[in-house]
Amino acid sequence: GAGVSQTPSNKVTEKGKYVELRCDPISGHTALYWYRQSLGQGPEFLIYFQGTGAADDSGLPNDRFFAVRPEGSVSTLKIQRTERGDSAVYLCASSTRDGRTYEQYFGPGTRLTVT
Amino acid sequence: QKEVEQNSGPLSVPEGAIASLNCTYSDRGSQSFFWYRQYSGKSPELIMFIYSNGDKEDGRFTAQLNKASQYVSLLIRDSQPSDSATYLCAVQGGSEKLVFGKGTKLTVNP
């Protein structure tokens, strides 16, 4: 079946601009996660949704970052007033979280470059 | 601060050998443990998960977990050049988020 999809695959933006990154999880997966990965590092947790609500947003670095999942499926990560330090690969993952298994499956990522 | 530590490598093994990748974690309450493979320029791919102490085998891969020592490892038997990648250890505690190590870069030489 189809995996997690993310769009765009690449995004180049100027410092100070607003960007939106989209994630479409695996069909039937109720849990959705956002991570970001800098070069040479492991992915770093940003936010987790169970259904429509953000169950854990403790990883969002500051209030310029916001994410939504209005219908419990597709999610959008929004970054305001982008800074060069926001440049990274933004990864989305989804999971069934059915009480027995907790495996998270990642999408291909969006490479964000802030110039 | 919950941490996951991995040797960054690079780890180099000849084709056909056993590759051993190690990971330690600081949160004693951690419950689930995952190994992801990441090829250069690609996203992490889940290859193994383990929840209970002991060994779990899947084909050429064996995950080993020792919660008392806060240690998890991945063995790759009969290593192939296609196994060359960065291997990420990830740990899940009481919350849903995964905490990742920085990864170990593995090179399998033909």
Tokens 């996660």, located at residue: A33
Q: Does the CB of A103 have a partner CB in chain B at under 8 Å?
A: yes
What would the pLDDT profile of A1-40 be if each residue is shown by its tens digit?
689 999 999 999 999 999 999 999 999 898 999 999 999 9
A60–B contact, CB cutoff 8 A: no
Average pLDDT, chain A: 94
Count the neighbouring beta carbons within 10 Å of the beta carbon of residue B87: 25
Question: Is residue B8 within 8 Å of B105, Cβ to Cβ?
Answer: yes
Which DSSP string corresponds to A1-33? ----EEE-SEEEE-TT--EEEEEEPPTT--EEE
Give the model's pLDDT for residue A99.
58
Per-residue pLDDT, averaged over B58-64, amounts to 97
Average pLDDT, chain B: 94
A88 at interface of B, judged by CB pairs closer than 8 A: no
Q: DSSP string of A84-99?
A: GGG-EEEEEEEE---S
The single-letter code of the amino acid at B1 is: Q
At residue A97, the pLDDT reads 67
Cβ–Cβ below 8 Å for B46 and A33: no
Calculate mean pLDDT across residues A32-52: 95
pLDDT tier, B95 (very low <50, low <70, confident <90, very high otherwise)? confident
- Would you state the structure tokens that stand for residue B78, as one six-digit string? 């009969």
Q: Is B4 left (phi over 0), alpha (psi -120 to 50) or beta?
A: beta
Residues whose CB is less than 8 angstroms from the CB of residue A114 and which lie 6 or more positions away in sequence, other chains included: A13, A14, A15, A17, A82, A83, A84, A85, A86, A87
